[in-house]
A and B are shown apart, each in its own frame.
Chain A
């Protein structure tokens, strides 16, 4: 960036330096007090110095709303970027990212996040701590699973997951009340009923923990070591409506299919507390395929109908 930029254009609000071969953006950015949009796509940014030092104290940290760094060479999200607390829209599409830093949660004003076309393998649960996120693009990556915490993204309206390595989704995805668009094509989603039979028997600690929780055995924090008090607080409720049970570490994974809009059937992963705790219908049928495949939980169907535009095929 040319030196003296902020002297010539002190009122600069939008700066587009896309396709200029930039390898770094320096301190000239720090003295632009009104800059809200910075477009720097298709450059050679990605190395040290891509973003200037001292960003945290600069007015830019509060003023910048839109940042487009797509088509560059970032192999990781630069820590300096996470200082841009006012950021609403961030694009790092078409870079070389292998992951998303948990500190992405620092960008608490983020509404639009485009990370398509990278090499991302996993999504940190901290991504779900972005309360205003409406549009999340993760297509064309190498993602194998979606953390169930993503269901906490209450504002999410559109989620793009096509062309990844997903075999199923967490059932919690149905909790995304405002989700209207979901793209899932190009994933090896399982199409047949799958039941994970590798059920590790629960430990004595787990069995004791389950009993304490389900029988409401009273205890005070002084009765138990801190570690066990913490352990007891981590109990998960079995989603089987006919079971009031809980589980800690030992659970059965089961994939159930849920209808969306009456057209698509998505495989959702359920964690159940024991093999006996499967779908209410499974005990009635001998073969575990066709009967269970046509199941939909009532609550799931209602949630699924909320999602109007599911891109599967």
Chain B
């Protein structure tokens, strides 16, 4: 994505409108990261609009596909129970936007490990994202771990990935060793998808 000459200032007044505007933006050849981030942030989370996608699992966080953007992007809702977190992962050369719909999520950024890394990975920074905030990351920025550190509140987040991807690498914080994983959806378009899991199924 490169910066176009002009960037619009969008205001998405509903989740449906957000999706519609995203389709519009991504129909173009060039898309601005700032524009998408501002659009995502402009949507004020309304649980009534996304509750149908917010399917929680007792044991771990879930990925629930909302829209597949005509192949240009994936829009999904992630549901994090108390204490649920991801492993450190990359984003397979894609852009990743993460907006908080409910609760809070802690994002810890890490440097890429050295080529033959055999030491503890380096933490770059960490922050707690609040409701309606939208974060952005891609592989050139670094790697991250996302977790719900609350022991009392579940969290819900809206993620946009472009281009879509279904595999990524997870990293061992102690050694920097990476491992490729395939990601699966807990539900798609509001319907629970039951799939036979093969091996480790998510950035987990």
Nearest-CB residue, chain A, relative to B198: A308
Q: Are A93 and B59 in contact (CB under 8 A)?
A: no
Which of these, A71, A93, A116, A312, contacts B172 with CB under 8 Å? A312
Instruction: Knowing A181-B59, A313-B88, say if A114 contacts B83 (CB, 8 Å).
Output: yes
In A53-103, which residues have CB < 8 Å from any B CB? 70-71, 91, 93-94
Nearest-CB residue, chain A, relative to B178: A263
For residue B70, CB closer than 8 A to chain A, the reply is: no
Which of these, B150, B171, B197, B199, contacts A261 with CB under 8 Å? B199
Q: Are B151 and A157 in contact (CB under 8 A)?
A: no
A165 to chain B, nearest CB (A): 16
For residue A300, CB closer than 8 A to chain B, the reply is: no
Chain B contacts of A181 at CB under 8 A? 59-60, 204
Which of these, A93, A112, A183, A309, contacts B58 with CB under 8 Å? A112
Which of these, A41, A158, A183, A263, contacts B152 with CB under 8 Å? A41
Chain A contacts of B170 at CB under 8 A? 313
Which of these, A41, A94, A308, contacts B200 with CB under 8 Å? A308
Q: Are B59 and A94 in contact (CB under 8 A)?
A: no
Q: Are B171 and A313 in contact (CB under 8 A)?
A: yes
For residue B175, CB closer than 8 A to chain A, the reply is: yes
Complex Cα–Cα for A94 and B150 (A):
8
Chain A contacts of B177 at CB under 8 A? 263
B124 to chain A, nearest CB (A): 15
Instruction: Knowing A135-B59, A160-B83, say if A185 contacts B173 (CB, 8 Å).
Output: yes
Contact size range, B: 20 to 34
For residue A199, CB closer than 8 A to chain B, the reply is: no
B116 to chain A, nearest CB (A): 16
B122 to chain A, nearest CB (A): 13
Q: Are A263 and B179 in contact (CB under 8 A)?
A: yes
For residue A117, CB closer than 8 A to chain B, the reply is: yes
Q: Are B174 and A313 in contact (CB under 8 A)?
A: yes
Instruction: Knowing A93-B151, A137-B83, say if A158 contacts B59 (CB, 8 Å).
Output: yes
Complex Cα–Cα for A180 and B82 (A):
18
Complex Cα–Cα for A71 and B174 (A):
31
Complex Cα–Cα for A218 and B175 (A):
53
Chain B contacts of A263 at CB under 8 A? 172, 177, 179
Q: Are B151 and A313 in contact (CB under 8 A)?
A: no
In A179-224, which residues have CB < 8 Å from any B CB? 180-181, 183, 185, 189, 191
Complex Cα–Cα for A264 and B88 (A):
14
Nearest-CB residue, chain B, relative to A70: B152
Chain B contacts of A158 at CB under 8 A? 58-60
A283 to chain B, nearest CB (A): 27
For residue A11, CB closer than 8 A to chain B, the reply is: no
For residue B42, CB closer than 8 A to chain A, the reply is: no
A-contact 0/1 string along B155-183, CB 8 Å cutoff: 00000000000000011111101010000
Which of these, A114, A137, A139, A313, contacts B121 with CB under 8 Å? A313
Q: Are A312 and B173 in contact (CB under 8 A)?
A: yes
B184 to chain A, nearest CB (A): 12
For residue A311, CB closer than 8 A to chain B, the reply is: yes
Complex Cα–Cα for A257 and B127 (A):
34
Which of these, B85, B152, B172, B197, contacts A94 with CB under 8 Å? B152
For residue B87, CB closer than 8 A to chain A, the reply is: yes
Chain B contacts of A164 at CB under 8 A? none
Interface centre among B121, B149, B171, by most A CB within 10 Å?
Answer: B149
For residue A292, CB closer than 8 A to chain B, the reply is: no
Chain B contacts of A162 at CB under 8 A? 85
Residues of B within 8 A of A (CB): 58-60, 82-83, 85, 87-88, 121, 149-152, 170-175, 177, 179, 197, 199-201, 204
Residues of A within 8 A of B (CB): 41-42, 70-71, 91, 93-94, 112, 114, 116-117, 135, 137, 139-140, 157-158, 160, 162, 180-181, 183, 185, 189, 191, 261, 263-264, 308-309, 311-313
Q: Give 8 closest A-B pairs by Cβ, nearest first.
A: A93-B151, A313-B173, A313-B172, A94-B151, A117-B151, A71-B152, A70-B152, A158-B59
A-B contact pairs, 24 of them (CB 8 A): A70-B151, A91-B82, A93-B152, A94-B150, A94-B152, A112-B58, A114-B82, A114-B83, A116-B151, A135-B58, A135-B59, A140-B149, A157-B59, A185-B173, A191-B174, A191-B175, A261-B199, A261-B200, A263-B179, A308-B197, A308-B199, A309-B60, A311-B204, A313-B121
